[in-house]
A and B are shown apart, each in its own frame.
Chain A
Amino acid sequence: MNTDPTILQYFEFEFVQRALISALVVGLCAPAVGVFLVQKRLALIGDGLGHIALTGVAIGFLTGAAPLWTTLAVTVAASVVMELLRSHSKTSGDVALAMMFYGGIAGGVYLTGIASDKGVANLQQYLFGSLLTASWNEVWTIVAGGAVVAALMLVLRPWLTAICADEQYARVSGLPVAALNLLLLITTAVTVSVSMRAVGLLLVSALLVIPVVTVQQFTRSFKATMFSAMGAGFLIAGAGVIASAAKDVPPGSTIVLLGVAAFVATALAAAVVRRLRRTRRGHLPPEGEPLEVELPASSA
Chain B
Amino acid sequence: MPVLNVLGATVSYGGRAVVRGVDLAVAPGEAVALMGANGSGKSTLIKAVAGLVPLAGGTIELFGAPQKRFRDWKRVGYVPQRTGAASGVPSTAAEVVSQGRLAHRLLGMPARRADRDAVARSLAEVGLEAHAHCSVDTLSGGQQQRVLIARALATEPDLLIMDEPTVGVDAETQAALAAVVADRIDAGCAVLLVTHELGPLTDRLDRAVVLADGRVVHDGAPPRPVGEHADPAHQHAHPHANGTGGEGTDDYWGGR
Contacts and interface: CB of A to CB of B under 8 A. Distances in A.
B236 to A, nearest CB: 10
B99 interface: yes
A288 B129 CA distance: 13
A166 B127 CA distance: 23
B59 interface: no
B222 interface: no
A40 B88 CA distance: 7
Contact of B133 (A169, A221, A290): A221
Interface string B138-174: 1110110000000100010000010000000011110
B89 A222 contact: yes
Interface in B119-147: 127, 133-135, 138-140, 142-143
Contact of B99 (A165, A171, A288): A165
Interface string A204-243: 0000000010001001111101000000000000000000
Nearest to A223: B95
B71 interface: yes
Contacts of A223: 95
A176 B87 CA distance: 21
A292 B105 CA distance: 40
B103 interface: yes
Interface in B57-76: 71-74, 76
Contact of B102 (A40, A175, A292): A175
A285 B242 CA distance: 14
Interface residues of B, number: 46
A168 B78 CA distance: 10
B91 A165 contact: yes
Contact of A161 (B50, B51, B95, B235): B95
B80 interface: yes
A69 interface: no
Contacts of A172: 50-52, 73, 76, 78, 161
Given A155-B108, A216-B90, A292-B242, A173 B140 contact: no
B100 A289 contact: no
A165 B87 contact: yes
A289 B170 contact: yes
Which of the listed residues B88, B102, B105, B108 has the most CB atoms from chain A within 10 Å of its own CB?
B88
- Shortest Cβ-Cβ A-B pairs, 4 listed: A174-B73, A220-B135, A172-B78, A39-B89
27 contacts: A38-B88, A40-B88, A41-B88, A156-B108, A159-B102, A162-B102, A164-B88, A170-B99, A170-B102, A171-B51, A173-B74, A173-B78, A173-B100, A174-B74, A176-B107, A216-B89, A219-B90, A220-B135, A221-B91, A222-B90, A225-B89, A225-B90, A288-B172, A289-B140, A290-B171, A293-B235, A294-B235
Given A159-B108, A289-B140, 6 more contacts: A39-B89, A162-B102, A169-B78, A169-B151, A174-B103, A292-B171
Interface of A: 35, 38-41, 155-156, 158-159, 161-162, 164-166, 168-176, 212, 216, 219-223, 225, 285-286, 288-290, 292-294
